[in-house]
C-alpha cells in the first residue's frame, strides 16, 4: 500500500523532478506534488511524495529526514491527514455570550 510522505523545508527553486530522483533512491515513487500558492503560483517550500511501499516510505524517512538538498535541510515524515478547516473568514467555534447586537453599538442605549 502506498504511503504519503510530507517533505518540508524545500527551496523554492526545487523541482518535482529533483524530488522524484532523490526519493527513487529509497524505492519506487508513485507521485510527487510540490505545493504552490494559488494566487501567485510560487512554491510554498513543501510537498508530498507517495512511495509505492511501506518499506520504501520508511527507507525514505530514514535517508532523507535531515538530508540537505539545494542548501536546505529537509524534513521528511509520514503525512498526516489534512485538518478540517472552517469556511469563510475568521473561523468557527466562537461563542458569543448573551445576545448579539449584530455588530452595531453597545447594547442598552436609549435615545
The answer to the question of residue 51 being in a domain is yes
Domain range for 11 is 3-78
The model carries a pTM of 0.73
8-66 pLDDT, tens digit per residue, is 999 999 999 999 999 999 999 999 999 999 999 999 999 999 999 999 999 999 999 99
- Average pLDDT on 2-7 reads 93
| Residue 29, Cβ density class (10 Å: 0-12 exposed, 13-18 middle, ≥19 buried) | buried
The answer to the question of residue 17 being in a domain is yes
The answer to the question of residue 97 being in a domain is no
CATH number at residue 44: 3.30.70.330
86-109 pLDDT, tens digit per residue, is 665 555 555 555 555 555 555 565
Closest C-alpha among 97, 23, 18, 99 to residue 59: 23
The answer to the question of residue 96 being in a domain is no
- Neighbouring CB atoms inside 10 A of 59's CB total 16
Closest C-alpha among 20, 59, 55, 50 to residue 10: 20
61-72 pLDDT, tens digit per residue, is 999 999 999 999
Amino acid at each position: 500500500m502506498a504511503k504519503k510522505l510530507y517533505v518540508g523545508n524545500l527551496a523554492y527553486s526545487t523541482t518535482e523532478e529533483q524530488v522524484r530522483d532523490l526519493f527513487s533512491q529509497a524505492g519506487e515513487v508513485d507521485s510527487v506534488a510540490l505545493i504552490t500558492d494559488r494566487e501567485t503560483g510560487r512554491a510554498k517550500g513543501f510537498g508530498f511524495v507517495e512511495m509505492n511501499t511501506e518499506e520504501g516510505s520508511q527507507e525514505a524517512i530514514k535517508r532523507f529526514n535531515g538530508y540537505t538538498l539545494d542548501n536546505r535541510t529537509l524534513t521528511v515524515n509520514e503525512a498526516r491527514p489534512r485538518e478540517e478547516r472552517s469556511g469563510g473568514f475568521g473561523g468557527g467555534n466562537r461563542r458569543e455570550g448573551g445576545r448579539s447586537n449584530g455588530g452595531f453599538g453597545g447594547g442598552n442605549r436609549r435615545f
